[in-house]
Structures are given as C-alpha cells and as structure tokens.
Amino acid sequence: MQLDLTYDQLKMTDDEALVLNVIETYRGREHPIPARNLADIVCIPERRIRSIVRRLRITFHKPIGSTTQQPAGYYLCITPEEIQNFTESWFNFALKHLKMVHTIRKDERKETLNKIEYSLFEA
C-alpha cells in the first residue's frame, strides 16, 4: 500500500527544522551562510547539512540556494531571478554530467531520455 502524502502533510525532523530556521535568516544571494558556520550553529556535521538541505529542497520545496563563489554558502532565494540563477547552474551541471554518462555508456538517445524521464517524473 502506497501513501500519497503532499509535502504539507510530511513532518520535518527537528534537525531539518533547525537548519531551515537558520537558513531563512540568510535572505538573498548576497547574504549566504557558509556551510561550516551553519554546521557550527546547529551542531550538525557539514555532510549531514548537505543531506538536510537536499531534503528541504526536494521534499518540502524550500527555495534554498547555494553557491561556491564568494560569498559562498546557503541562502534563502527571495527573488525569481535568484531561483532562476541557482536552478540554471544546477541544470547545466546536471546536463554536463548526463552527457558524459550517455557518452561513456554508449546508450541509444531514446534509452537515455527514457531513463531521465522515469527518474524525474515516475520514481
């Protein structure tokens, strides 16, 4: 039996809520919190922070941006342009890596596209 829950019905863990609470105070691309500082504030290892941020983005649809360019860190996207810039950089990153995988595997184009579509929309 599969439960169909919306993200509003899911509950955040205490760690997720804590990380989100802190990131929400760093509003906009110009005011990020470095991962190390965030980890120190919430007393959670940086690797776990990355996992939590991924879940906040995907499961709870939180517009959390990040950048490795200075000033580096996590921030809450507050404009459509920030969301566009953040997601565009990840989209290009993903495409570059998918092209490499497709080339190395020597998959047929349709097979690769089917895998991508299934992963994005069916899984």
Q: How many domains does the chain have?
A: 2
Tell me: pLDDT of 1 over 50: no
* b/e per residue 10-44 (b: at least 16 CB within 10 A): eebeebbebbbebbeebeebeebbebeebbeebeb
Is pLDDT above 60 for 58? yes
Q: Quick check: 8 pLDDT over 90?
A: no
pLDDT in tens, 106-123: 878 788 888 888 887 875
The CA-based dihedral angle spanning residues 42, 44, 48, 49, taken in that order and rounded to the nearest 10 degrees: 20
Tens digits of residue pLDDT in 68-99: 999 999 999 999 999 999 999 999 998 898 88
55 and 73 in a single domain? The answer is yes
Give the residue among 92, 30, 94, 114 at the shortest CA–CA distance from 65.
Answer: 30
Q: Say if residue 7 is in the same domain as residue 62.
A: yes
Same domain, 72 and 104: no
Same domain (yes/no): 97, 39: no
Which CATH number is 4's domain given? 1.10.10.10
Question: Domain limits at 16?
Answer: 1-78
Are both 73 and 122 inside the same structural domain?
Answer: no
If asked whether residues 47 and 70 sit together in one domain, one would say yes
This prediction has a pTM of 0.79
Residues forming a β-bridge with 27: 76
